[in-house]
Structure 1
């Protein structure tokens, strides 16, 4: 046997051994080589479902650590329900600490929402809690812990809800794709290191070599950014230096493979269940038609790549006509790593792993200081940025000028306020500004059906996303939840225009429990419905909310460590008399 063939055999045996090891703790729906959710025998279905949360151990890419698993698997079991049914989920806690499950995106009574301290007390060790609620919707959703950052160590799983009637999305086959990040370091250790040094995991800082090669900022720009204590490479807090990125619990070497027959319409239900990572998703050589976002139907729109924020879901339909392997690529937004899975007509095929693209740099727009359309004193509007001019403008606008945000509580936790935040829903997201192919933006999304509630909002509410990134402090309006932040109060059934203003230089996926909101993109009655929206750095997002769900609800950034550090509030919805 030649050395080459021997190496191929050993590699194949190693991959097979890895696949066998994975199969012991990966649920059937997530195993490599699956033909998809044809009859869903691997899903938990029916009116009574039992889930047990317990300790486990997880390994990938040579990294191994403690995990929290559900029914002994990571990711957790697939739950498949039917719109209109009732479900009782019996959740037993076998951990040594409290746990919980939040049904992300599901419209449930607030007592069933699963957030300790807000909607219920949590599930103590040895106890069983029964979540009992009607299923009022269809689409792609997921579930995860809201206790002790357990979500970061494996406590997450997918939910698929079939519509009561005809599904407008017609496909011959469907695969669930759960994206996640995994570190052998416990999330509490990660958070401690970030508080000690906010750039601890950033291994892509600018260098002299980058300056000389013309890939990074100029020396003058660096001095200006340094004077403002800003780092244009500070895009992700936790990076590929410690994270392994996973598809259905598999790293790139483990090559999760989903099968298809050439010519089929294949539906991919893509869920970002990561703790801290926004992903850019693409299938090189294969266009994707987006048909759902956050479980809600949208008018089909074709694209080549999209960014999926933490906790968002996108359903796409693809049509692979060739009998070859296609790579499903999820690249971290800061380009510190990626995961490659394979879609193929048979097992054993391996798609190409592309090189990481050049990491992006933040600019003045990400500070909320976009001068591109302004007269900068040179006789007209500037179509490009002049760092010297922008630097002077930035200082003159006082990046802690409270007049731009009078409701923000100023203090050490608020380093900057965006002087000129702009609506960025039509902007390509971070890192995809200059790629040559099509990129999805929020402005491309239009709901399939017009909204029923067409009342104009009766009031407007501004909420600032605030931080001192250098000290790793995160908040809404300068107030952390633990600092006695007052609830955000809505009257039952009132219509409110909410403006989210990002005063930081990092994107924030903001999630409202118990509700869907209409993202204001200019599509009027076809504005997309969402439960999570990724607010770009220095940008502003507006949504119209009908406060139709009575109770107390969590409202937070879904970057787990931002939420844990204070970027969270309680939303209350009450009758006029104040009775819940």
Structure 2
């Protein structure tokens, strides 16, 4: 076992790095599709007790875009790591970059010093050095790995993990595919960060204008008075990104084959830096059987939204022929595409992009009036503006200042909301309230409650928890006693959805299921202007990162450290 790392020394290194970035502004058949290029696309699978990974510079191209990338073992995504519950594993990671790097094992339960977050759980991997992660495999399911150093994740430094159960008791299937969703851009991630700091709408090509006929004049005036745009859905969009499935852009014509009558398990991982995807197979039903690697009672849907860092396992039994699988960006600026077919070479038509999404009053924290027009609140010049800008509505626990410019005055629980753009479709869409744990969780009532506000200044591209950016709070972590049971409510005071991830733990969503069957997750989408609640048993000792999994939000400050220690 490696010695514990000094928090003070290692965290100082991370603070410097973050500050500089801010300144820049039954085991079935398995499939893992391969491709061509300087960096192979989704190539390779590794298993066993000793696994070697090598991080290096590479070149990547798809659909007319090409540029620098970071590959692991020469591929993007890096190799699929297939493990088995109950085994021990040693992962030898060599860094061939000219800068420090790391790998975080997303969703895995392990000793904190092997969690892979520089400055929190270990110092990072220096250029030319090898670090060995070693830990027992205590779970099964679909997970993934990625860099937690700088902005390397954006450049291709990520890959999937599948852990086979010691004893499989889930729904039967004949074949499986891992589908890792991500993005590619030839623009250097530091340049993206700088452009977002200069203007948060830089990559948005779908903004409403003063003459747009899609809303009333009163509503346009109200949005203008708030200095916000109702099309501010994703910070980086299809104007800059090519959307990938297993490293393949739409032009790469990715094909996933099956035999007539087979049930196919799709392990869907959102390994993107900044994108929420809406996933569907037009004309085919999907049976959701796992969320974030944890089994749930099967739920039949035709579409689901998956936030950055979430995973869903679905089973489909497609009809004979070809079916298009679409991963459409939440702002509908582009999509990833693959073909699921029983007839190699056959193709189904790709649907057009749907109409862009427009935010509503509920997304502004006016949940109690979600069905009304903004104009209905205009009882005097600036009346709504005052309510949304009145930071005195925030509790004393939230530090106000230049990094906080908005409050959700009437935030509502939106666990039953399917995701931006999916509330008006006619087919069945997954909601968090549909999820129910397949096996009972131990029942313990929470011993205390904790509320955390997700805060930001969108114009200045500043993001935080409780008004404090990560560099300001690293010496004052969120503290839990070992084995303490806490009910945590996240209040989103911003108009953007945030996928919030806690390292080293699972928590149970307070989603309306009975307490023993609340679904377990490691990442939770908190909808704009809303709140979401989970129950946490803090039973993994050590220091753990807690952050928004939108990469540029995290690096702009929406991150904290959770420390779990015995109660004094």
When normalised by structure 2's length, the TM-score is: 0.91
> Which residue matches 1:312?
310
RMSD: 1.5
C-alpha deviation, 1:398, in angstroms: 4.8
C-alpha deviation, 1:395, in angstroms: 4.0
> Which residue matches 1:16?
none
Alignment of 1:162-173 (within 5 A): 162-173=164-175
- The whole-number CA distance in structure 2 between the counterparts of 1:371 and 1:133 is 47
- The whole-number CA distance in structure 2 between the counterparts of 1:65 and 1:46 is 33
- The whole-number CA distance in structure 2 between the counterparts of 1:109 and 1:466 is 30
Among 424, 441, 446, the alignment partner of 2:436 is: 446
List alignment gaps of at least 5 residues for structure 2.
Answer: 1-32
- The whole-number CA distance in structure 1 between the counterparts of 2:89 and 2:414 is 39
- The whole-number CA distance in structure 1 between the counterparts of 2:145 and 2:171 is 23
- In structure 1, the residue corresponding to 2:564 is in which secondary structure? strand
- In structure 1, the residue corresponding to 2:122 is in which secondary structure? coil
**Cα-to-partner distance string for 1:294-318 (whole Å, 9 max, x where unaligned):** 0000000000000000000000000
- The whole-number CA distance in structure 2 between the counterparts of 1:343 and 1:147 is 35
Among 139, 156, 159, the alignment partner of 1:157 is: 159
- The whole-number CA distance in structure 1 between the counterparts of 2:352 and 2:302 is 17
- Structure 1 contact 371–385 (Cα < 8 Å) conserved: no
> Which residue matches 1:106?
108
Q: Which has the larger radius of gyration?
A: 1
- The whole-number CA distance in structure 2 between the counterparts of 1:273 and 1:21 is 18
Alignment of 1:87-126 (within 5 A): 87-126=89-128
C-alpha deviation, 1:134, in angstroms: 0.1
- Structure 2 contact 270–308 (Cα < 8 Å) conserved: yes
- Structure 1 contact 277–332 (Cα < 8 Å) conserved: yes
Q: Does 1:333 align with 2:330?
A: yes
Among 419, 424, 430, the alignment partner of 2:414 is: 424
Q: Does 1:390 align with 2:390?
A: no
- The whole-number CA distance in structure 2 between the counterparts of 1:229 and 1:73 is 43
> Which residue matches 1:222?
220
Among 480, 487, 497, the alignment partner of 1:497 is: 487
List alignment gaps of at least 5 residues for structure 1.
Answer: 1-18, 32-41, 374-383
**Cα-to-partner distance string for 1:322-344 (whole Å, 9 max, x where unaligned):** 2x110110000001111211001
- The whole-number CA distance in structure 2 between the counterparts of 1:464 and 1:372 is 21
- In structure 2, the residue corresponding to 1:563 is in which secondary structure? helix
- The whole-number CA distance in structure 2 between the counterparts of 1:261 and 1:426 is 36
**Cα-to-partner distance string for 1:278-309 (whole Å, 9 max, x where unaligned):** 00000001010000000000000000000000
Among 523, 526, 529, the alignment partner of 1:538 is: 529
Alignment of 1:273-288 (within 5 A): 273-288=271-286
- The whole-number CA distance in structure 2 between the counterparts of 1:558 and 1:390 is 34
C-alpha deviation, 1:84, in angstroms: 0.2
- The whole-number CA distance in structure 2 between the counterparts of 1:102 and 1:228 is 39
Q: How many residues align?
A: 531
C-alpha deviation, 1:402, in angstroms: 2.5
> Which residue matches 1:377?
none
Residue 169 and residue 355 in structure 1: after superposition, are their counterparts in 2 closer, same or farther (change >3 A)? same
**Cα-to-partner distance string for 1:4-37 (whole Å, 9 max, x where unaligned):** xxxxxxxxxxxxxxx997266336xx46xxxxxx
Q: Does 1:175 align with 2:205?
A: no
- The whole-number CA distance in structure 2 between the counterparts of 1:320 and 1:210 is 41
| The 10-residue stretch of structure 1 (534-543 or 166-175) with the greater mean CA deviation from structure 2 | 166-175
C-alpha deviation, 1:404, in angstroms: 3.6
- In structure 1, the residue corresponding to 2:194 is in which secondary structure? helix
- In structure 2, the residue corresponding to 1:495 is in which secondary structure? strand
**Cα-to-partner distance string for 1:535-570 (whole Å, 9 max, x where unaligned):** 000010000000000000000000000000000000
C-alpha deviation, 1:424, in angstroms: 0.3
Among 236, 242, 245, the alignment partner of 2:243 is: 245
- In structure 1, the residue corresponding to 2:455 is in which secondary structure? strand
Q: Does 1:345 align with 2:363?
A: no
- Point out 4+ residue stretches in structure 1 off by more than 4 angstroms: none
- In structure 1, the residue corresponding to 2:425 is in which secondary structure? coil
Residue 311 and residue 398 in structure 1: after superposition, are their counterparts in 2 closer, same or farther (change >3 A)? closer
**Cα-to-partner distance string for 1:489-529 (whole Å, 9 max, x where unaligned):** 00000000000000000000000000000010010211110
- Structure 2 contact 174–263 (Cα < 8 Å) conserved: yes
- Structure 2 contact 158–271 (Cα < 8 Å) conserved: yes
- The whole-number CA distance in structure 1 between the counterparts of 2:463 and 2:528 is 14
- In structure 2, the residue corresponding to 1:402 is in which secondary structure? helix
- Structure 1 contact 369–394 (Cα < 8 Å) conserved: no
> Which residue matches 1:134?
136
Among 445, 448, 451, the alignment partner of 1:456 is: 445
- In structure 1, the residue corresponding to 2:343 is in which secondary structure? coil
- The whole-number CA distance in structure 1 between the counterparts of 2:126 and 2:193 is 24
